[in-house]
Amino acid sequence: MSRVTNGLMRQRKHRKYVKSAKGFRLGRKNVYTQVRQALIKQGQHAYVSRRLKKRDFRSLWIERINAVLREKGTKYSTFINALYTKNIQLDRKMLSNIALAFPAVFDKIHEEAMK
């Protein structure tokens, strides 16, 4: 009986990994063990960075809202507390967009919250 190896499937698997490591440098682009480790690490960084992006955008929205509120003579924390007490359910992303695109609407929200 002839000996059966798994060479063809292994080559296909390796080729698939190496193809996805396009743009990497040195052995990380063509040495399979380094490619596999680089792709695993890349996935970990991508996962963390997706969460960091959400954090960065939230802080940006807060800064924008705070800048508009400071012109009106109000603090961000008191405004957010007033929104919660009046049960006005707008998230920071929407408040930021409204404050930039529709200042008149934001003024009405501010007046309603600060009554």
Residue numbers of the domain that contains 20: 7-114
Q: pLDDT tens across 92-112, in order? A: 999 999 999 999 999 999 999
Express each pLDDT in 12-52 by its tens digit: 999 999 999 999 999 999 999 999 999 999 999 999 999 99
Q: Give the CATH number, domain containing residue 62.
A: 1.10.1900.20
Which residues contact residue 90 at a Cβ distance below 8 angstroms, ignoring those fewer than 6 apart? 83, 98, 109
Residue 73 lies in a domain: yes
In a domain, 82, yes or no: yes
28 and 9 in contact (C-beta within 8 Å)? no
Give the tokens for residue 85. 């007490």
pLDDT for 49: 97
Distance in angstroms (rounded) separating the CA atoms of residues 35 and 29: 6
